[in-house]
Structure 1
Amino acid sequence: MNASTSMASVNIGKDLDYYYGEYRQELCRYAAQKFGIAYTEAEDVVQSAFARLATMLGTSKIENVRAFLYRTVHNACIDLIRRRQVRESYSQSKQADDAELNHLGPERTALSQQFVQLISQALGLMPGKRRKLLLMNRIDGLSYAEIARREDLSETVVRKHVSKALADCQKALRPGSGDSQ
């Protein structure tokens, strides 16, 4: 039994080496050309696709490895572009906020700082999973379906966690939320 398990592992490694040699450059060119990303980023995306393939070769039957790799690279590139857009949007928003803060009076600045502090406290008090799902949705810009796929949860569970997290943030912002009711 151990010999067959070892043999399966050896075959998986050989298969992975074969697929890597066969498709790596093709997938890198595809990612760089189709999505306009740097070749080094494309290499990283392709590497992660092969890492995913490696975890699935022993456990799942993949009928068309090339198609699986292309779909995985495609999805990873879309995620990369979305994250980049979210970061860019945040950066522009932050710059605009900073410029606006320079023109605001001290009262408005103090209120803004208090707002950030309250939200930070609310995030700190949330269960880790809830906070993580909220940040994946609101900061990384991932859809509920994408988060569910990545975290191996149902979309309904993700929606409930994000909804509860938003409710926690809103509760923290209500006047007197620190007081017991």
Structure 2
Amino acid sequence: MSDIGSDAVHSIYTTHHAWLHGWLKRKLGCTFEAADLAHDTYVRLIASRRLPQPDESRAYLMQIAKGLVVDLYRRREVEAAFRASLALMPESMWPSAEQQAIVIETLTEIDAVLASLPPKVRETFLLSRFDGLTYSEIAIQLNVSVASVRKYMLRAALACFSSLAE
């Protein structure tokens, strides 16, 4: 990896953009989404302030793009779940479009945070918050101590709060 410079970014962009856009278009089936994610890939590349060696550029760009594709699919799942929950409510109780966008963004961030946690920490949080299990019930289900459940909940909550604070 080398430090970033505008000439180097321009070189990577002109050399690999068409290839990256084509790869994303095949992956997503939509030229517009592919263009958005290709753009976001280069934004992330620039934000990282590090450039790959020339022979590693495609692999590096693909690694970033794959992460963005995963993020896109996760966001779609969150949006679908949120829309399904809205459908259960009278339309008069729906939040405004702006509030919906904020909720979806927040849920997407929490989903990403939970996905980054170790499995037992994530499972503990989900069992507590969404299934309504007590710490004792979670401890039995996961075959851990209640003290471990407390520690897992604290870790999950801190991760969520720190993500939202950013």
Task: Give TM class, smaller chain.
Answer: 0.5 to 0.7
User: Is residue 2:59 matched to residue 1:62?
Assistant: no
Q: 1:25-84 CA distances to partner (integer Å, 9 max, x unpaired)?
A: 211121121233x21111111111111212334xx4634221111010111011011111
Check 1:49–1:146 CA distance in 2 against 1; reply closer, same or farther (3 A cut): farther
**Contact kept? 1:45, 1:76, Cα under 8 Å:** yes
User: Is residue 2:14 matched to residue 1:24?
Assistant: no
User: Is residue 2:107 matched to residue 1:144?
Assistant: no
Counterpart in the other structure of 1:91: 83
Counterpart in the other structure of 1:53: 45
**Contact kept? 1:133, 1:161, Cα under 8 Å:** no
Q: 1:4-37 CA distances to partner (integer Å, 9 max, x unpaired)?
A: xxxx77xx2111111111111211121121233x
**Runs of 4+ off more than 4 Å:** 132-135, 162-165
**Contact kept? 2:41, 2:61, Cα under 8 Å:** yes
Paired with 2:35 and 2:158, the residues of 1 have a C-alpha distance of 34
Return 5+ residue gaps in structure 2 as ranges.
Answer: 94-104, 118-152
Return 5+ residue gaps in structure 1 as ranges.
Answer: 1-7, 103-108, 110-131, 148-155, 166-181
Counterpart in the other structure of 2:156: 159
Check 1:78–1:16 CA distance in 2 against 1; reply closer, same or farther (3 A cut): same
Paired with 2:154 and 2:19, the residues of 1 have a C-alpha distance of 38
2:8 equivalent among 1, 9, 15: 15
AA matched with 1:28:
H
**Contact kept? 2:113, 2:160, Cα under 8 Å:** no
Paired with 2:113 and 2:161, the residues of 1 have a C-alpha distance of 16
AA matched with 1:68:
Y
Aligned-residue CA RMSD (Å): 3.7
Check 1:163–1:55 CA distance in 2 against 1; reply closer, same or farther (3 A cut): closer
SS across alignment from 1:142? helix
**Contact kept? 1:133, 1:158, Cα under 8 Å:** no
Determine which structure has more spread, i.e. the larger CA radius of gyration: 1
**TM-score normalised to structure 1 length:** 0.50
